[in-house]
Amino acid sequence: MPLNRRWSTDELPGSARPSWPVVLDRQHDIISHGQLRSYGHTKADLAANVEAGRWQRVLPGVYATFTGPLPRPARLAAALLYGGRHAVLSHHSAAEEWGLVPITDRPVEITVPYTSSAISQLPLVAVHRSRALRHTTLATTPPRTRGPDTIVDLAVSQETARDATLLVVDLVSRSSMSLEAVENCVSQRPPFRYRAAIRRGLGLVRNGLMSALEVEYLELVEDQHGLPRGDRQTPFAVDGKTLWEDVTYDSHGAAVTVRLDGRATHATAGVAFRDRRRDNAAELAGRARLVYGWQDVHSSPCEVAAEVRAILLREGWNPDGSRAPSCQVCRSLS
């Protein structure tokens, strides 16, 4: 795929070039110095509009044909025009466009070829460089990195390897992108940083974990406290529909369900109703169930493990031959 040239009209002949109003509309009233020249605007025209307060300089060589704050679409257009004809949205900005993360007030992140002269201009734009743009770019409007590459870029930018693993689990499990697509991305263009951590996150998703909270439960509660590893994403029929429980222990002789809820509140009435029906179905089936959130698992894993162990024993789990606890906190208190 050729590098994206959507944001430059400098080289178009006059007859093929869109009209000035069309260019402004496409670029949310943001224009580059090169485009101004190509449409016949002189340095004097530019200076007069800026000095009169009709236009404003946004970035080196990039201007807004209005004054006041820049709406988000205009900020994206300005960052891309500053980056040059091959610039694309990447990292957090691309993730926002893909719907992977919420839109926040932060610098627009773009990626440019290594030969580009663009540098970060905070607080408006943060510039990354890549030698693989030809393979990672999708010709959307505005142009951005492909979904799998965006996830990998975000993982590589995390502060720690563990953060990279948890981010991969969260984003891959709740996006519409297939696990295979992200695995292929890592295989074809292995990241230099956190490669093992990213692959570990993909492996956890393949084994059924669907969130960072589930990873924390597996590692901090089950593994460190000698509990059996439960089955992940177990299907149950409720009201003629198949719903999925996060962790179940039926294969270990105990009809116990553990739900891991990373939400502070139920966002919709439909979700709350579904969970009530799921609770009622579990009660009718005689299943024990426990519910934990991020604060429980992350801050009090020992207490969570003690509760789960008590219920597993009550419901028939035989701990003979189970793993020895490795939790240093529990050992120091024993």
pLDDT band at 68 (very low <50, low <70, confident <90, very high): very high
**Average pLDDT of the chain, as a whole number:** 88
Task: Give dist(CA 94, CA 104) in Å, integer.
Answer: 12
Q: What tens digit of pLDDT does each residue of 191-216 get? A: 989 999 999 999 999 988 889 999 99
Contact between residue 7 and residue 77 where contact means Cβ atoms under 8 Å apart = yes
Three-class secondary structure assignment of 178-234: CHHHHHHHHHHCCCCCCHHHHHHHHHHHHCCCCCHHHHHHHHHHHHHHCCCCCEEEE
Contact between residue 96 and residue 79 where contact means Cβ atoms under 8 Å apart: no
CA quadruple 89, 90, 92, 97: dihedral positive or negative? positive
Burial of residue 140 (number of CB atoms within 10 Å: 0-12, 13-18, 19+): middle
Using CB atoms within 10 A of its CB, is residue 236 exposed (0-12), middle (13-18) or buried (19+)?
A: middle
302 alpha-carbon distance from chain centroid: 30
Phi, psi for residue 77 in degrees, rounded to 5:
-65, -40
Q: For 94-126, how does the pLDDT look when each residue is reduced to its tens digit (9 = 90+)? A: 999 999 999 999 999 999 999 999 999 999 999
This prediction's pTM: 0.80
Structure tokens at 135: 């393979």
d(CA 40, CA 23): 14
pLDDT in tens, 8-63: 544 444 446 788 899 999 999 999 999 999 998 899 999 999 999 999 999 999 99
What are the b/e assignments for 28-37, b being 16+ CB within 10 Å?
bbbbbbbbbe
Residue burial 199-234, b: 16+ Cβ < 10 Å; e: rest:
bbbbebbeebbbbbbbbbbbebbbbbbbbbebebeb
Amino acid at 167: L
CA angle 82, 188, 135 (to 5 degrees): 30
How much is the average pLDDT of 278-299? 81
